[in-house]
Structure formats: structure tokens, C-alpha cells
Structure 1
Amino acid sequence: MMSDRLEQLQEFLKDSPQDPFLKYAMATEYLKLGNQEEALKGYLDLVTNHSDYVGTYYHLGKLYEKMTLVEEARDIYQKGIVITQKKRNMHALGELRGALNLLDGEDEDEY
């Protein structure tokens, strides 16, 4: 079943098919609806075609973790860390480092 929000986002994408925010919102909506496959496709499209859209890396990493794809999660967190450092997005950088530390079983407070 498609949500009203998903239908709205698809309509918006018809007018702006390369808008990374709309693509991100769609992927996130698919995830909320439990459609991991479509969410994954959306996040992978963002990483491929809008690599500087930093919000993608955290959510894609968490999706990989949920799918028990630990190495893929680690890799995407590390790629996101590089991007956020370049963009000087300290908030996203902190989130990605925290997620990577949790994945690796390290306590953030140890540093």
C-alpha cells in the first residue's frame, strides 16, 4: 500500500526528478513503510548521483545494519565521514562517527 506522503513525493519528483531532498524523502518514506528494497534503491541512487547529500550515509548505514550487512554499513559510514569532513558538517560527522563506533563496539566516551 502506498502512503499519501509517498504519492505526494512522487508527484513532486515529476517536476524535479533530480532533487536529492525529494529522493531522500522518498527513500525514507519507503523505509517507514517497511519496504527495505525500495529504500535501499533510493539511498544507493543518492550515494551514486548525489554523493554530497550527507544525510544519506547515516540512514543507509543503519539500513545495512538492519539487514545484517555489517561490512557495507562500516564502509558507508566511513565514506560519509570523508564527505562530511570535506563539507565541514560537524553535526553529521558526529552522528556518523558515533554510528561507526557503536557498530565497532567502541564507546564514544573513551575518546
Structure 2
Amino acid sequence: MANPRLETLKQLLNQNPGDSFLRYGIAMEHVREEDYEQAVAEFRELLNRNPEYVAAYYHCGQALERLGDVEGARAIYQAGIELCTRTGDLHTRSELQTALDLLG
């Protein structure tokens, strides 16, 4: 069954392909539907276009973990931690560090 929110977000993104918030919303809808592969693809596209969209690092890492890609999750968490360290975002850095630590 089609997700009307997802379809609306995709239509809006087609009209404004550079809108990071819309792409993040699409990725999060895929997470909600447990379509982690598509979620990761959207998060990666978002981070390619806007590498400073810090929330995407955590959620992309979580989706990668659900896919069993621990090394991919580790890499994305580390990239997010580096960004947060440079920008001084201590709260998000702490969340990413906790997620990384939980990987073992």
C-alpha cells in the first residue's frame, strides 16, 4: 500500500531537488516503514548534497545497523563525530559517540 506522506514528500522533492529537509523526511519515512536499504540510499544522497546535515549521520548509522552493516554504521558515526567536533555541536556529537560505543 502506498504511503501518502512519502508520495507527497517525493512530489515536493521533485519540485525542489536541493531541499535537504524534504530528502531527510523521505529517508525517515523509509525508516518508519522499515525499508532500511532505501533509507540509507536517501541519507547518503542527502549527505552527498549537504554533508553538514548532522541528524542524518545518526539515523543513517541506525539504519545501517538494522541492515547488519556494522562497519558502515561505524564509518558514518565517525564521520558525524568529526563534523560535530569541527562545528562545536556537542549534543549531537555525544549521541553519535554513544551509538559508536554501543557497536563495541
Match of 1:98 in 2: 98
Match of 1:57 in 2: 57
TM-score (norm 2): 0.92
Offset from partner CA, 1:21-53 (integer Å, 9 cap, x none): 110110110111122221111011012221110
Q: How does 1:19-30 map to 2 (within 5 A)?
A: 19-30=19-30
Amino acid in the other structure paired with 1:96? L
Any stretches of 5+ residues in structure 1 without a counterpart? 105-111
Amino acid in the other structure paired with 1:16? N
Question: Which structure has the bigger radius of gyration?
Answer: 1
CA RMSD between the two structures: 1.2
Any stretches of 5+ residues in structure 2 without a counterpart? none
Q: How many residues align?
A: 104
The Cα of 1:8 is off from its aligned counterpart by 1.8
The Cα of 1:65 is off from its aligned counterpart by 0.9
Percent identity of equivalent pairs: 38
Offset from partner CA, 1:58-86 (integer Å, 9 cap, x none): 01111111111111111110000011112
* SS across alignment from 1:99: helix
- Structure 2 CA distance, aligned partners of 1:89 and 1:22? 22
Moved over 2 A (4+): none
Question: RCO higher in 1 or 2 (8 Å CA, sep ≥ 6)?
Answer: 2
Match of 1:38 in 2: 38
Segment drifting more, 34-43 vs 48-57: 34-43
